[in-house]
Chains A and B, each alone.
Chain A
Amino acid sequence: MKLLLVLPILIPLTTAAFCLLFWRHRAIQRLLGTLGSTAHLVAALLLLWFVRQDGIFAIQVGNWPAPFGITLVADLFSAIMTVLAALMGLTVVVYSLASMDSGRESSGYYAFFHFLLMGVSGVFLTGDLFNLYVWFEVMLMSSFVLLALGGERHQLEGAIKYVTLNLISSALFLTALGILYGMLGTLNMADLSRQISDGMHAGVISTLSMLFLVAFGIKSALFPLFFWLPASYHTPPVAVSAIFAGLLTKVGVYTLIRVFSLLFAQDIAYTHTIILVIAGLTMVTGVLGAMAQNEFRRILSFHIISQVGYMVLGLGLFTPLALAGSIFYIMHHIIVKTNLFLVSGVARRLQGSYQLNQLGGLYQAAPALTIIFMISAFSLAGIPPLSGFWAKLILVKASLDITAYLIAATALGVGLLTLFSMAKIWAAAFWGDPPQTTAAGVGQVHLPLKASEKIALYLPMVVLGLLTLTIGFMSAPFFELATHAADQLLDPAAYIHAVLGRVK
């Protein structure tokens, strides 16, 4: 059973290694990519199942006892995130089969995709701060390559901003953990949590926590550190955009929640108030930025920022209900946002553009696509009874419970503005008149989709759409899962016990 903890990391690694071995055989790589992602999802689901049954469990890599070796830990939150990562990996790989061009496929797309999944799973499962940094770098390195793969001009320009800002973020993270090690002499998160809760060096620890906030804030695109995101996410092929949009910023949010619940929870009045204010500003600036855009993927990119604000909002409130709301929001958001990007890819495939003024009439041309978009977009905006409604409801309820009226009002207002942007896409791309193909520069011939392509493109979207509906109509089990995960986060004792065993 303990082996399960390693599998979500080993399976993508093996898949990627085999993809590299079959460098010249595109068909084999496509098959391997799909099989590997399926196995990854199965392993992640099993992991979630066992964690749900038996509680938190940990293994010490190489059998070095806890604070000295590297620890892998899975609590409910990390297991949920691993499942989501694996699910997005599988759906996007299937989608890539029909949407990725052969040039990128033969330049190692599937290998780097699985290295990315390995890095993401590693971040979720590690229990050691330095190991977390290493997994971050694995993830970043593969994302750099995926972003720049193909070498088109706008891709390279986007990649420069993405690479530079992420390097600065990693540098800050490394600085912070270096100082933390100098002070406390350990990097094991459970051990750190134990030592920090003793209340020594409270002032310096709070200062350090701000360094962590900036480092992870860049990665999760918080206000005012988000500018790299809308400058780069719309540049690569849509499958890459989709996996980035679904997973990467949420990895930042995951680390924020992990670090600010396990380690830096000793001065909540100071640190978590700052987080709350930042969350509010992130929501507002993201949604306002989206209103000014007229390109499908740029609008969606700005919405990632505003949605990250909601997830961090729950962390800022730091009540059991609010944290459960954050986790629920992450589950809902990853599924919906990935799906919206996939929809934008099919829209472009059908009409040759991401620009809203060159799209139109998709309602008539692709009714199924329209329904999928409608489910996801309205869920993103929080229309009942879709998943986004429950996610927002929990967070608003949590803020009203502790009389944080301003932040509750902000959350509701931002939801309304989200609806406005979604309605804009709806009106222009789906409802509006079909584009004039005689317009200058848009003279491409758009081949109708082949049946096999149609399956590969629509199957992932349908699955994700159904999941959104499931979370919406049967939200109770998902909410219960989120509540359990939040309870575990708020009570680090069980985590510490699982890692360090008998100590105290």
Chain B
Amino acid sequence: MEILAAIVVGGLFGCGIYLLMSRSPVRLIIGLVLLSNAINLLIFTAAGLIRGKVPLIPPDSLRAVEVTADPLPQALILTAIVISFGVLAFALVLFSRTFKTTSATTLDEMKATDT
């Protein structure tokens, strides 16, 4: 299971970075989306995939009796999803506004502020 997840993470990272390097703003955005999903999956995988073991502590004990799934990575991922959603929404609006202002279809046409 970990190996499969690792391959998926690697594939998403590869696709994301490939898209980031293209000239089209739309592909750039899709690349960022893939990248942020790849990372969420990576956190999930890196913390260990344990199936069917709920992190509950029995009433008469102070700690869990067996190895359970770790709930913290899911909290981290949830936060990361919310943040990346907000940031990507902003990026989309920024790109669409830039397109309306400059009517540039490739990133190569946005060199005015470069040095």
Known interface pairs A137-B83, A163-B91; A171-B98 also in contact (CB < 8 Å)? no
Which listed segment binds B: A2-10, A150-158, A327-335? A150-158
With beta carbons under 8 angstroms apart, the residue of B20, B28, B107, B112 that contacts A153 is B112
Known interface pairs A151-B97, A154-B113; A130-B39 also in contact (CB < 8 Å)? no
Known interface pairs A156-B98, A159-B94, A298-B115; A164-B39 also in contact (CB < 8 Å)? no
Docked Cα-Cα span, A230 to B113, in Å, equals 8
Docked Cα-Cα span, A133 to B112, in Å, equals 32
Could you tell me if A181 and B46 are in contact, using CB atoms closer than 8 angstroms? yes
Could you tell me if A171 and B97 are in contact, using CB atoms closer than 8 angstroms? no
Which listed segment binds A: B50-58, B61-69, B73-81? B73-81
Docked Cα-Cα span, A154 to B101, in Å, equals 10
Chain A residue contacts of B36, Cβ below 8 A? 171
A503 CB, nearest partner CB in chain B, Å: 17
A232 at the interface (CB under 8 A from B): yes
A174 at the interface (CB under 8 A from B): yes
With beta carbons under 8 angstroms apart, the residue of A153, A232, A292, A302 that contacts B102 is A153
Chain A to chain B contacts (Cβ below 8 Å), 19 pairs: A141-B87, A144-B87, A153-B101, A154-B112, A156-B94, A157-B102, A160-B25, A160-B95, A160-B110, A161-B114, A163-B90, A171-B39, A174-B39, A174-B80, A181-B47, A230-B115, A231-B113, A231-B114, A232-B113
Contact residues of B with A, CB < 8 Å?
20, 25, 28, 32, 35-36, 39, 42-43, 45-48, 70, 72-73, 76, 79-80, 83, 86-87, 90-91, 94-95, 97-98, 101-102, 107, 110-115
Which of A151, A154, A158, A164 gathers most chain B CB within 10 Å? A164
With beta carbons under 8 angstroms apart, the residue of B42, B48, B80, B112 that contacts A157 is B112
A367 at the interface (CB under 8 A from B): no
Could you tell me if A163 and B113 are in contact, using CB atoms closer than 8 angstroms? no
Could you tell me if A134 and B79 are in contact, using CB atoms closer than 8 angstroms? yes
Could you tell me if B87 and A167 are in contact, using CB atoms closer than 8 angstroms? yes
Chain B residue contacts of A234, Cβ below 8 A? 113
A274 CB, nearest partner CB in chain B, Å: 22
Main secondary structure of the interface of B (DSSP, over half): helix
With beta carbons under 8 angstroms apart, the residue of B43, B90, B107, B110 that contacts A181 is B43
Docked Cα-Cα span, A232 to B115, in Å, equals 10
Kindly report which residue of chain A lies nearest to residue B28, judged by CB atoms: A164
Could you tell me if A134 and B42 are in contact, using CB atoms closer than 8 angstroms? no
Chain B residue contacts of A156, Cβ below 8 A? 94, 97-98, 101-102
With beta carbons under 8 angstroms apart, the residue of B20, B83, B107, B112 that contacts A134 is B83
